[in-house]
């Protein structure tokens, strides 16, 4: 683990049913490599070489990645918050936790490194990535107060028309103070879909008067892959980075 005592948690228990198959979504090839490999490479670049990977337990991800990772098991698909709870024991004595999604493979190492640095220096209990999108449809919106402070994250399906007009979105990668997270994560409540959503921890921190910080990501970093169209878009992003005009 790096000197800042960060441990990484990669959420990787989802299935790829909307992608035309039943294998773990994180193993779907992206430019010839399982998409989770890009996330693991990014973590290695910032000094986290053996992260915790939360899996469904069917053995497929473990066989692919081998002993390069620590594994935690989510018995039921009850949301991102529940997946993080599954990793509690494996996180050991980490002071801070870096939480990434295995199906969001486009974050640059520089952005994740900044996420860690800002979190450590700001005294925040949670730091999240944000991005400004011309078309923010499908993403949770970041709500800010008059002084620019984060006042909450609202999921699109729960957003008012005024909130839907906000273009700053939640990028889906987080840094947490581990002690605070484990002390409070049991306070999460199930949402309308019957899941525990990690964004609720942002709202809880704010309600407690704790510091919440943000780091800006570029628009091409926050794409999550849920459809074949998004997979093709991600492949094009990687090609542009490799062969810039």
Residue 176 within any structural domain of the chain: yes
Residue 39 within any structural domain of the chain: yes
Cα end-to-end distance, the chain, whole Å:
37
What whole-number percentage of the chain has pLDDT above 90?
A: 82
What's 110's domain CATH number?
A: 3.90.550.10
Question: Could you identify the residue written with the tokens 């919440």?
Answer: 212
Residue 243 within any structural domain of the chain: no
DSSP for the chain, written as a single string: --TT-EEEEEE---B-GGGTSSSBGGGSEETTEEHHHHHHHHHHHTT--S-EEEE-SSSHHHHHHGGGSEEEE-SS---HHHHHHHTTGGGTT-SEEEEEETT-TT--HHHHHHHHHHHHHHT-SEEEEEEE-SS-TTSPEEEE-TTS-EEEEE-GGG--HHHHT--EEEEEEEEEEHHHHHHHGGG----TTS---THHHHHHHHHTT--EEEEE--GGG-----SHHHHHHHHHHHHHHHS--
**pLDDT score recorded for residue 194:** 82
pLDDT band with cut points at 50, 70 and 90 for residue 2: very low
Distance CA 170, CA 149 (A): 14
Q: By the 8 A CB rule, do 61 and 99 touch?
A: no
Residue 244 within any structural domain of the chain: no
Residue 105 within any structural domain of the chain: yes
**pLDDT score recorded for residue 16:** 66
Closest C-alpha to 55, from 28, 30, 73: 73
pLDDT in tens, 103-148: 999 999 999 999 999 999 999 999 999 999 999 999 999 999 999 9
H or E stretch at 129: strand 126-132
Q: Is the pLDDT of residue 15 over 90?
A: no
Residue 200 within any structural domain of the chain: yes
pLDDT in tens, 44-60: 999 999 999 999 878 99
Residue 1 within any structural domain of the chain: no
- Residue 185: what are its φ and ψ, rounded to 5°? -65, -25
As given in the structure block, the two tokens for residue 97 are 């936790």
pLDDT in tens, 155-184: 898 899 999 999 999 999 999 999 999 999
Residue 245 within any structural domain of the chain: no
pLDDT in tens, 182-220: 999 999 998 877 889 999 999 999 999 999 999 999 999
Domain assignment of residue 186, given as a range: 6-238
**pLDDT score recorded for residue 17:** 64
Distance CA 176, CA 8 (A): 10
How many structural domains compose the chain?
Answer: 1
């Amino acid at each position: 683990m790096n000197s800042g005592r960060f441990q990484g948690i990669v959420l990787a228990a989802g299935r790829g049913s909307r992608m035309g198959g039943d294998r773990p979504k994180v193993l779907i090839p992206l430019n010839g490599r399982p998409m989770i490999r890009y996330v693991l490479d990014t973590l290695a670049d910032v000094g986290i070489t053996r992260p915790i990977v939360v899996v469904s337990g069917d053995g497929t991800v473990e066989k692919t990645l081998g002993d390069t990772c620590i594994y935690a098991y989510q018995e039921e698909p009850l949301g991102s918050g529940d997946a993080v709870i599954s990793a509690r024991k494996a996180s050991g004595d980490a002071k801070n936790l870096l939480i990434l999604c295995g199906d969001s493979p486009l974050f640059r190492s520089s952005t994740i490194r900044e996420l860690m640095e800002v979190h450590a220096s700001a005294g925040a209990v949670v730091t999240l990535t944000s991005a400004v999108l011309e078309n923010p449809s499908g993403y949770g919106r970041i709500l800010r107060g008059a002084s620019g402070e984060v006042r909450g994250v609202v999921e699109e399906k729960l957003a008012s028309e005024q909130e839907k007009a906000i273009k700053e979105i939640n990028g889906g990668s987080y840094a947490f103070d581990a002690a605070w997270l484990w002390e409070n994560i049991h306070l999460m409540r199930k949402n309308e879909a019957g899941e525990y959503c990690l964004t609720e921890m942002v709202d809880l921190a704010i309600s407690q008067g704790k510091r919440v910080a943000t780091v800006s990501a570029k628009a091409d970093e926050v794409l999550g892959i849920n459809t074949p169209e998004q997979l093709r878009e991600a492949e094009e992003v990687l090609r542009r980075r490799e062969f810039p005009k």
